[in-house]
């Protein structure tokens, strides 16, 4: 068997199926190997299958079992942690709100190119805007869109909010004229029968589903419920706009207001759509043959509608707010109509979208570059401070006798185990103008009572507090590396005539560099994303990019920008993480 | 084996070094009393004189030390009241010891005999620097403790406290913590979230760590990278992502949302500690158990688990402290109903309402000392079980 053993993989540990596998492979390569009486054929295991195959299966089983053990946690982490991160990355480019809220407008704008300040969008865009904005205002989604677009062009928020209020008043005289002519146009029941096309009429579910999708996209709610209304096939071919408007009204009434369609008077928009439909000569012609419910009233209304003046939607919108004539506003809507945008990322690096492509913002509007620079700079300073303070301590701990080192280690581990907020509040207590350090300095007479040092709510405070908080993360990796450096090397260097400095710098220091590297990356990664400490002791000049992210999530509600800023920060951290993995290996992280 | 040569040092050398230390101490006292220069000179002269007297005329260490302490304390009490007396005791202890330490040559006891004077100086200079770093590490935590007994609503020492007047101290902040509904609710929330998050993290994490430590795991590195990532990704990014994603799922602002988030954050710690324990685990033990007829469950329960238990417990403690100490994620994922202790402290610090925070801080420091001791004991036990000498 000794020959077999040498051809198999040598392992110091107990034999594993894999060892046996190698041995079996070796056996098959040398069929003439001394192996009992049966010289030829594969080696069989106890149950008669070839040994190679049965070992293969054992190995596969082992892999599978390991994966089964890992699977629950992996799924857990993927769902609770990785999916949220992915969601955030998605949010940083997602921009469906414009096309969801103003679908027809964005379609109408598709062919429009702004050339100069007076190239206003086509009349069709204004009409589409009326259709979209009326529905959005009913669903109260127009302010959300206004807020979103306001990030890009100031003033759009108030423009949308004020215009949304006036949507009901557009074409008032027409509706009045219609209702004066026949009171049936004010009756809920009449409208309902008209639009269903009477009992037993063929329904147009396609049109209903189309409106259902439209409302779902607009509000984000589910409209799957049965609403007790299906537009009639004949009537929706005859009066397409009215049918669409009425279907949207019916869906909204049932799902959001939880009312019954047949008992509610339709929106103004439905009546306007009717008069628009009836102005079409083709419709009037087709109407002559129509015999569904309400045909008489429709014919009368058609006669009346012929006399209406065309609604000038552009003029109407300009009367509501003259900013609707501003080409810049329209350009912003057009620019942000695609479902994905680089706008948030451009914002996050102090740029903005212009018709001529991305451009840097004005000097005084650039804040994120400054914040990123400050975050990087302060993290570097903190890392530097940690190296300077941590190196001597780690050296001392690694070179003292075990017993003493363990006692001193407690002084490092206690801050490490103490709550972050305790340490931050301790620094607040220490650094305040009426705090312990200032009091001590005043008591010693080193500082005048009137001119106490300002050490908090600025960069100094953040750097001191974070150096203290992150110092254990520097000392621990350095210590574990320095422990492995044999002291005899330095002694050898000394006995060969090196001075104190040379023996340290040329012999000891190079061996301790991995510890410095590991500690530095760890401290840098941790400090670059810090939020709590800068928030409490940082004031305005000592805050990090994370504070801005938190501000955008909880105060300004510009989630897309927060996500974009977060994605950039995440990219930086992941690069460092990768470097850390290369240098130290994530399996080698030690705690305590 | 070092040859220790302890021989008394000449008095002028000792006097000179003591004078420098005395000048420094005198400078501090003098500045506090209004005249730096007089303090500096007087300190140097007194210290040098003491060195001469103790080394040349009264070389009885024990008596001399006590005499120094008593004289210094009385003098300092007269100058600066009770707080001054504490400084006096410290100075007295220091000088009483320092003169004889130098004079008897004990400072060279642990150094090789060939070290030059300059090297001795560097050696102790280095230790002083390290001492200052340790001071920097530990002072903020120590300072909080006496302040939490402040009778006033200040974040600093009052004159009464410095005068050691019992009037200046009280337990009112502790009383506030234990009676105030906000704090009690926060404490209760913390206590009900952390254990469940720990349980989730430990049970999933231990299983996965066992899987990861077997020899034939495909894709070990990417899996490890994913499992460790909650520790590496900045908390604010995790918080933002979880906020967005959990609101989609309707978990935002719920107890379970916070528990899941905290469990995810605690998992890397469990993975790291348990895999570290499993590195030293002898696999032939499981094979031996299987050979003796135990099924995998029994093997795990009776053989593997007891051996890796210290690692599991310390991983659990890490996960617990992560959840117990976590603010950023709960700030976003939780709602007012899940306000935890750190969250309450955070709002308190931002709006600066009351020093009850310091009382809470002291309680938390006590808890962390207990946890630290437990983890340290477990680590030693684990190393002993694995046949290593505990460090």
* Cross-chain CB nearest to A72 (options B207, B275, B342): B207
Per-residue pLDDT of A182-209, as tens digits, reads 777 878 888 888 888 777 777 788 888 8
A556–B contact, CB cutoff 8 A: no
Identify whether the C-beta of residue A504 lies closer than 8 Å to the C-beta of residue A416.
no
Predicted pLDDT at A450: 83
CATH code, domain carrying A432: 1.10.3720.10
B85 reaches A (C-beta below 8 A): no
Rounded to a whole number of angstroms, the distance from the CA of B21 to the nearest CA of chain A is 17
Asked whether residue A447 falls in the same domain as residue A431, the answer is yes
Residue A358, in any domain of the structure:
no
Binned at pLDDT 50, 70 and 90, residue A37 comes out as very low
Is A262 domain-assigned? Answer: yes
User: A80 and B325 in contact by Cβ < 8 A?
Assistant: no
**Phi, psi dihedral angles at A232 (to 5 degrees):** -65, 145
Q: Are residues A114 and A183 in the same domain?
A: no
Of A280 and A549, more confident: A549
B332 touches chain A (CB under 8 A): yes
B141 contacts in A (CB within 8 Å)? 414-415, 418, 422-423, 426
User: Which of B105-119, B251-265, B285-299 holds the top average pLDDT?
Assistant: B251-265
Is the CB of B91 inside 8 Å of chain A's CB atoms?
Answer: no
Among the listed residues A408, A467, A460, A471, the one whose alpha carbon sits nearest the alpha carbon of residue A431: A460
Domains recognised in chain B with CATH numbers: 11-111 (no CATH), 180-353 (1.10.3720.10)
Compute the distance between CA of residue B59 and CA of residue B78 in angstroms, rounded to an integer.
28
Distance CA A246, CA A266 (A): 7
Which of A110-124, B43-57, B87-101, B135-149 comes out lowest in average pLDDT? Answer: A110-124
State the Cα angle at A392 between A389 and A394, rounded to 5°: 100
Give the Cα separation of A265 and A40 in Å (integer). Answer: 93
Q: How many CA atoms lie within 13 A of B270 on its CB side?
A: 31
pLDDT band at A27 (very low <50, low <70, confident <90, very high): low
**Based on the domain organization, do A457 and A534 belong to the same domain?**
yes
**Phi-psi sector, B128: left (phi>0), alpha (psi -120 to 50), beta:** alpha
CA distance A269 to chain B (A): 32
Last residue within a domain, chosen from A62, A91, A120? A91
- Identify whether A564 is part of a domain: yes
Report the alpha-carbon distance of residue A385 to residue A444 in Å, rounded: 27
Give the confidence band of B59 by pLDDT, cuts at 50, 70, 90: confident
Contact A435 B226 (CB under 8 A): no
**β A357-360/A351-354 pair status:** antiparallel
**Interior CA angle at A74 toward A71 and A79, to 5°?**
125
Q: Which residue has the tokens 């928009």?
A: A269
Distance CA A530, CA B264 (A): 19
CA dist A104 and A133 (Å) reads 10
Mean pLDDT over B279-289 rounds to: 84
Task: Say yes or no: A319 and A303 in one domain.
Answer: no
Please tell me what DSSP assigns to residue A352: E
CB-closest option in A16, A85, A389 to B233: A85
Q: Give this complex's ipTM.
A: 0.86
Confidence of residue A391 (pLDDT cuts 50, 70, 90): very high
Distance from CA of A75 to the nearest CA of B (A): 10
Among A471, A470, A478, which Cα is nearest to A399's? A478
Quickly state the pLDDT bin for A23 (edges 50, 70, 90).
low
* Residue from the list B130, B261, B327 with its beta carbon closest to the beta carbon of A421: B327
Cβ-proximal residues to B321 (8 Å cutoff; 6+ apart), any chain: A417, B368, B371
- In this model, does residue B273 exceed pLDDT 50? yes
Q: Identify whether residues A383 and A239 lie together within a single domain.
A: no
Residue of A nearest to B133 (CA): A389
What tokens does A194 get?
């008209």
Q: Give DSSP secondary structure letters for A191-203.
A: HHHHHHTSTTPPB
Final residue in a domain of this structure, among A91, A109, A125: A91
* Residue in B216, B276, B376 closest to A66 by CB: B216
B110 touches chain A (CB under 8 A): no
Pick from B136, B207, B234: CB nearest A468: B136
Q: Given an 8 Å threshold on Cβ–Cβ distance, is B368 in contact with A70?
A: no
Q: Are residues A267 and A409 in the same domain?
A: no
The per-residue pLDDT of chain B, averaged, comes to 86
Contact B211 A65 (CB under 8 A): yes
- Contacts of B243-247 with CB under 8 Å at 24 or more apart are B243/A553, B243/B332, B243/B333, B244/A84, B244/A87, B244/A88, B244/A91, B244/A559, B244/A563, B245/A83, B245/A84, B245/A87, B245/A88, B246/A84, B246/B333
Convert the pLDDT of each residue in B220-236 to its tens digit. Answer: 888 988 998 898 899 99
Over 90: is that where the pLDDT of A480 sits? no
Neighboring chain B residues of A59 at a CB cutoff of 8 Å = 216
How many domains does one find in chain A?
Answer: 4
Please tell me whether residue A206 adopts helix, strand or coil conformation.
helix
Contact between B155 and B148 under an 8 Å Cβ cutoff? The reply is no
Is A427 within 8 Å of chain B by CB?
Answer: yes
Cα B27 from Cα A385, distance rounded (Å): 29
For the segment A324-352, what is each residue's pLDDT rounded down to a tens digit?
878 778 888 888 888 888 888 888 888 88
The answer to whether residue A363 sits within a structural domain is no
Residues in B closer than 8 angstroms to A444, CB to CB, are 28, 31-32
What is the reported pLDDT for B389? 55
| Residue B151 pLDDT grade (very low, low, confident, very high; cuts 50, 70, 90) | confident
CB contact under 8 A, A418 and B141: yes
Residue of A nearest to B131 (CA): A393
Which site among B26, B140, B208, B287 would you substitute to test the A interface, given the most A Cβ atoms closer than 10 Å to its Cβ?
B140
Euclidean distance between CA atoms A329 and A153, whole angstroms: 7
Q: Is the pLDDT of residue A17 over 70?
A: no
Among the partner-chain residues B155, B264, B318, the one whose CB lies closest to the CB of A429 is B155
Rounded CA separation B244/A187 (Å): 45
Instruction: Name the residue in chain B with its Cα closest to that of A437.
Output: B156
> To probe the interface with A, which of B29, B234, B316, B335 has the most A CB atoms within 10 Å?
B234
The answer to whether B300 faces chain A, any CB pair under 8 Å, is no
- Residue A355, phi then psi, degrees to nearest 5: -60, -25
Contact residues, chain A, for B242 at CB < 8 Å: 80-81, 84
Tell whether A361 is covered by a domain: no
Helix axis angle, A83-91 relative to A559-583, nearest 10°? 130
Chain A, 10 to 39: residues with Cβ < 8 Å from chain B are 13-14, 16, 18
Our CA angle for B102, A405, B88, nearest 5°, is 45
Q: Where are the beta strands (DSSP E) in A136-242?
A: none
Q: Are A270 and A245 in contact (CB under 8 A)?
A: yes
Show Cβ contacts of residue B280 under 8 Å, excluding neighbours closer than 6 positions: B386, B388
Contacts of B285 (CB under 8 A, 6+ apart): B303, B304, B307
Q: Mention every residue, 6+ apart, whose C-beta is less than 8 A from residue A592.
A: A413, A416, A476, B314, B375, B376, B379
Quick check: A554 and B332 CB within 8 A?
A: yes
Smallest CA–CA separation between A14 and chain B, in Å? 6
* Domain assignment of residue A60, given as a range: 2-91
pLDDT reported for residue A10: 40
Minimal Cβ distance to A73: which of B227, B314, B346: B227
Asked whether the beta carbons of B151 and B160 are under 8 A apart, the reply is: yes
Q: With CB atoms and an 8 Å threshold, state whether A569 touches B332.
A: no
* Whether A573 and B276 lie within 8 Å, measured CB to CB: no
Q: What is the pLDDT of residue A589?
A: 60
> Which pair of structure tokens corresponds to residue B331?
């700030």
Q: Encoding tokens for residue B314?
A: 């310390």
A318 vs B347 pLDDT, higher one:
B347
Which token pair is A395?
Answer: 């050296």
Residue B58 to chain A, least CA–CA distance (Å) = 33
Facing A80 at nearest CB: one of B140, B260, B372: B260
Residue A263 tokens read as: 């008992």
Chain A residues with CB under 8 Å of B217 CB are: 63, 66-67, 70
Residue of A73, A527, A555, A592 to mutate when probing chain B, most B C-beta within 10 A: A73
Taking all residues of chain A, what is their mean pLDDT, rounded to a whole number?
82
Task: With CB atoms and an 8 Å threshold, state whether B269 touches A591.
Answer: yes
**Residues A164 and A184 grouped into a single domain:** no
Residues listed for chain B:
391
Per the CB < 8 A criterion, the answer to whether A461 and A430 are in contact is no
In the block, which residue shows the tokens 């599991």? B312
Q: Do residue A549 and residue A515 come from a single domain? A: yes
pLDDT confidence bin for A590, thresholds 50/70/90 = low
The total of other beta-carbon atoms located within 10 Å of residue B291's CB is 9
Residues A191 and A266 in one domain: yes
Q: Determine phi and psi for A151, rounding to 5 degrees.
A: -60, -30
Q: Which residue has the higher pLDDT, B236 or A228?
A: B236
SS (H, E, C) chain B: CCCCCCCCCCHHHHHHHHHHHHHHHHHHHHHHHCCHHHHHHHHHHHHHHHHHHHHHHCCCHHHHHHHHHHHHHHHHHHHHHHHHHHHHHHHHHHHHHHHHHHHCCHHHCCCCCCCCHHHHHHHHHHHHHHHHHHHHHHHHHHHHHHHCCECCCCCCCCHHHHCCCHHHECCHHHHHHHHCHHHHHHHHHHHHHHHHHHHHHHHHHHHHHHHHHCCCCCCHHHHHHHHHHHHHCCHHHHHHHHHHHHHHHCCCCCHHHHHHHHHHHHHHHHHHHHHHHHHCCCCHHHHHHHHCCCCHHHHHHHHHHHHHHHHHHHHHHHHHHHHHCCCHHHHHHCCHHHCCHHHHHHHHHHHCCCCHHHHHHHHHHHHHHHHHHHHHHHHHHHHHHCCCCCC
What would the two tokens of residue A318 be?
């300009």
Mean pLDDT, residues A139-144 taken together: 83
pLDDT at B198 over 50: yes
CA terminus-to-terminus distance, chain B? 21
Q: Hey, is A129 helix, strand or coil?
A: helix
At B156, is the pLDDT very low, low, confident or very high (cuts 50, 70, 90)?
confident
N-terminal to C-terminal alpha carbon distance within chain A: 47
Interface contact B127-A423, CB threshold 8 A: no
**So what's the pLDDT on residue B262?**
95
Cβ–Cβ pairs < 8 A, chains A and B: 293
Sorting pLDDT into bands at 50, 70 and 90, what band is A1? very low
On whether both A178 and A289 belong to a single domain, the answer is: yes
Residues of B with Cβ-Cβ distance to A410 under 8 angstroms: 372
Query: Is residue A484 in a domain?
Result: yes
- With cut-offs at 50, 70 and 90, classify the pLDDT of residue A397: very high
| pLDDT score of A563 more than 80 | yes
- With contact defined as beta carbons under 8 Å apart, do A51 and A60 qualify? no
Q: pLDDT exceeding 70 applies to what percent of chain A?
A: 91
Residue B4, pLDDT > 80, answer: no
Q: Is B308 on the interface with A (CB under 8 A)?
A: no
Residue of B nearest to A587 (CA): B272
B341-344 long-range contacts (CB < 8 A, ≥24 apart) are B341/B183, B341/B186, B341/B187, B341/B189, B341/B190, B342/A419, B342/A420, B342/A421, B342/B190, B343/B186, B344/B182, B344/B183, B344/B186
Average pLDDT over residues B93-115: 84
- CB atoms B349 and A536 under 8 Å: yes
Whole-number CA gyration radius for chain A: 38
Distance from CA of B316 to the nearest CA of A (A): 13
Looking at the fold, whether A324 and A414 belong to one and the same domain comes out as no
Same domain for A475 and A493, yes or no, is: yes
Residue A405 lies in a domain: yes
Q: CB–CB of A532 and B218 under 8 A?
A: no
Which chain A residues are Cβ-neighbours of B133 within 8 angstroms? 389-390, 392-393, 471
Q: Inform me whether the C-beta atom of residue B292 falls under 8 Å from chain A C-beta atoms.
A: no
Mutant choice from A417, A504, A579 vs B, greatest count of B C-beta within 10 A: A417
Please tell me whether residue A328 adopts helix, strand or coil conformation: helix
A577 and chain B: CB distance < 8 Å anywhere?
yes
Of A72, A91, A110, the domain-final residue: A91
- What secondary structure letter does DSSP report for A289? T
């Amino acid at each position: 068997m000794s020959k077999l053993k040498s051809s198999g993989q040598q392992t110091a540990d107990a034999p594993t199926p894999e060892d046996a596998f190698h041995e079996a492979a070796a056996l098959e390569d040398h069929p003439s190997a001394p192996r009992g009486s049966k010289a030829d054929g594969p080696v069989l295991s106890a149950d008669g299958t070839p040994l190679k195959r049965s070992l293969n299966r054992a190995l596969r089983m082992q892999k599978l079992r390991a994966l089964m053990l890992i699977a629950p946690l992996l799924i857990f982490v993927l769902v609770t942690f990785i999916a949220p991160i992915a969601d955030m990355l998605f949010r940083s480019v997602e921009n469906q709100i414009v096309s969801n809220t103003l679908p027809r407008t964005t379609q109408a704008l598709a062919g429009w190119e702004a050339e100069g300040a007076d190239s206003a969008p086509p009349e069709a865009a204004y009409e589409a805007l009326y259709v979209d904005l009326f529905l959005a205002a009913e669903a109260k989604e127009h302010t959300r869109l206004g807020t979103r677009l306001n990030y890009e062009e100031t003033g759009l928020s108030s423009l949308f909010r004020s215009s949304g209020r006036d949507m009901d008043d557009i074409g008032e005289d027409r509706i009045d004229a219609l209702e004066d002519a026949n009171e049936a146009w004010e009756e809920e029941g009449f409208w309902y029968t008209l639009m269903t096309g009477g009992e037993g009429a063929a329904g147009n579910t396609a049109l209903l589903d189309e409106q259902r999708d439209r409302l779902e996209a607009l509000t984000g709610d589910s409209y799957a419920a049965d609403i007790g209304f299906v537009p009639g096939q004949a009537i929706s071919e005859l009066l397409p706009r009215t049918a669409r408007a009425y279907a949207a009204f019916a869906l909204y009434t049932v799902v959001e207001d939880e009312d019954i369609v047949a008992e509610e008077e339709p929106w103004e928009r439905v009546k306007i759509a009717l008069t628009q439909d009836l102005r079409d000569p083709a419709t009037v012609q087709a109407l002559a043959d129509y015999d569904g419910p309400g045909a008489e009233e429709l014919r009368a209304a058609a006669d009346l509608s012929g006399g209406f003046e065309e609604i000038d939607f552009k003029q109407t919108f300009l009367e509501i707010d003259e900013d609707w004539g501003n080409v810049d506003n329209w350009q912003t809507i057009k620019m942000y109509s695609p479902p994905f945008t680089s706008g948030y990322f451009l914002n996050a690096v102090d740029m903005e979208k212009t018709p001529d492509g991305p451009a840097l913002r004005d000097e005084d509007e650039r804040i994120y570059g400054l914040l990123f620079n400050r975050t990087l700079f302060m993290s570097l300073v903190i890392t530097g401070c940690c190296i300077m303070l941590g190196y001597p301590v780690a050296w001392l701990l690694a070179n003292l006798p075990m017993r003493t080192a363990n006692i001193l280690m407690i002084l490092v581990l206690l801050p490490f185990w103490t709550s972050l907020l305790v340490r931050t509040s301790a620094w607040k207590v220490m650094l305040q103008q009426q705090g312990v350090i200032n009091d001590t300095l005043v008591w010693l007479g080193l500082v005048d009572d009137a001119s106490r040092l300002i050490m908090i709510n600025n960069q100094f405070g953040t750097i001191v507090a974070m150096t203290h908080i992150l110092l254990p993360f520097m000392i621990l990796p350095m210590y574990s590396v320095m422990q492995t450096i044999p002291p005899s090397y330095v002694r050898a260097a000394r006995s060969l005539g090196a001075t104190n400095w040379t023996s340290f710098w040329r012999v000891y220091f190079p061996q301790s560099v991995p510890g410095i590297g590991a500690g530095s990356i760890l401290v840098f990664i941790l400090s670059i994303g810090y939020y709590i400490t800068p928030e409490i002791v940082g004031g305005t000049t000592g805050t990090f990019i994370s504070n801005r992210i938190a501000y955008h999530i909880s105060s300004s509600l510009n989630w897309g920008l927060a996500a974009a800023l977060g994605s950039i920060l995440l990219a930086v951290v992941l690069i460092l993480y990768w470097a850390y993995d290369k240098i130290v290996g994530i399996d080698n992280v030690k705690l305590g | 084996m070092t040859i220790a040569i302890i021989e008394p040092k000449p008095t002028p050398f000792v006097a000179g070094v003591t004078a420098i230390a005395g000048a420094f101490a005198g400078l501090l006292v003098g500045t506090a009393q209004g005249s730096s220069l007089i303090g500096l000179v007087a300190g140097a002269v007194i210290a040098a004189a003491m060195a001469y007297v103790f080394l040349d005329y009264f070389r009885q260490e024990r008596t001399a030390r006590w005499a120094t302490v008593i004289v210094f304390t009385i003098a300092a009490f007269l100058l600066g009241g009770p707080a001054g007396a504490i400084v006096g005791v410290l100075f007295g202890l220091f000088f009483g010891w320092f003169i004889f330490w130098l004079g008897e040559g004990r400072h060279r006891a642990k150094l090789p005999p060939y070290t030059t004077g300059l090297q001795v100086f560097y050696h102790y200079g280095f230790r002083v620097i390290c001492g200052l770093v340790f001071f920097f590490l530990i002072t903020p935590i120590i300072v909080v403790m006496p302040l939490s007994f402040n009778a006033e609503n200040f974040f600093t020492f009052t004159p009464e406290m410095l005068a050691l007047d019992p009037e200046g101290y009280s337990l009112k902040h502790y009383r506030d913590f234990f009676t105030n509904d906000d704090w009690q609710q926060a404490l209760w929330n913390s206590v009900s979230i952390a254990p469940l998050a720990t349980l989730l993290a430990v049970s999933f994490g231990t299983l996965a760590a066992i899987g990861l430590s077997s020899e034939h795991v495909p894709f070990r590195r990417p899996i490890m990278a994913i499992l460790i990532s909650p520790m590496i990704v900045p908390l604010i990014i995790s918080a933002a992502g979880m906020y967005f994603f959990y609101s989609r799922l309707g978990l935002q602002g719920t107890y379970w949302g916070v528990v899941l988030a905290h469990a995810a954050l605690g998992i890397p710690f469990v993975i790291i500690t348990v895999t570290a324990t499993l590195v030293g685990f002898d696999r032939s033990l499981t094979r031996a158990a299987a050979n003796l007829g135990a099924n995998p469950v029994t093997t795990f329960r009776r053989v593997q688990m007891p051996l890796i238990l210290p690692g599991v417990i310390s991983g659990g403690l890490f996960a617990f402290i992560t959840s117990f100490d976590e603010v950023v994620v709960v700030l976003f994922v939780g709602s007012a109903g899940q306000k935890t202790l750190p969250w309450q402290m955070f709002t308190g610090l931002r709006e600066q309402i009351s020093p009850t925070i310091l009382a809470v801080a002291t309680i938390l420091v006590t808890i962390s000392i207990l946890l630290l001791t437990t983890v340290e004991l477990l680590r030693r036990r684990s190393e002993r079980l694995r046949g290593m000498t505990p460090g």
